[in-house]
Amino acid sequence: MQISELIIHLQEEAAHEMPPFGAESIKIAHRLGSDATSFLLEQLEAGGWTAFLALEALRESDTVSYSSIPARKRVGIYVEVLRHSIFYNAWGLPGYQFTNTAYALISLGEEAFAALKPLLDDQRPAPLSGSQDATTSAMYGNRICDYAWVLICEIRGQSYIYFYSPAERDREIEKLRVVE
């Protein structure tokens, strides 16, 4: 396995916003282990999906190097992608099933909370792709603020009910704002 394969896959998958769980670049980095580290660290400066997939690949291939990246930088990469995605499969289904990526963001705690809080105002749609996921996402009318809300609740260890109605979720989001 060569770095050249990792480069090609990472570029192609970033261009198509491939979720980490389906990305070949993540698998290649995992097999390469620390041999992929210097390339992946360089890619963190690219921003967007390139940085995101590189960060996720690093989390899989070299946990020591991943952990050495300041939490603020990791949070910035995750939240940028959460804010600007076309599809939200990389995060899972809010209120029901998160991905390892979502748990990686949650694990960054208060640093993640501070970056997610402004997204509580972002009511743009956050659709999922794929047959069943897309249907479920559309039925619930998932929005970016919903992802931010449930991620914050998870960070804070607060229980929540992911209501079917966006209006009911808005009331819960507002309660969260009042507490802060």
The tally of domains found in the chain comes to: 2
Residues 14 and 47 in one domain: yes
154 phi and psi angles, rounded to 5 deg: -65, -45
SS3 label, residue 93: strand
Residue 77 lies in a domain: no
Residues 98 and 17 in one domain: no
Which range of residues forms the domain containing residue 1? 1-69
pTM of the model: 0.94
Residue 74 lies in a domain: no
Residues 131 and 49 in one domain: no
Q: Which among 39, 69, 99 is the end of a domain?
A: 69
Q: Per residue of the chain (180 residues), give pLDDT as tens.
A: 589 999 999 999 999 999 999 999 999 999 999 999 999 999 999 999 999 999 999 999 999 999 999 999 999 999 999 999 999 999 999 988 999 999 999 999 999 999 999 999 999 999 999 888 889 889 999 999 999 999 999 999 999 999 999 999 999 999 888 765
Is 101 within 8 Å of 20 (Cβ atoms)? yes
CA 25 to chain centre: 16
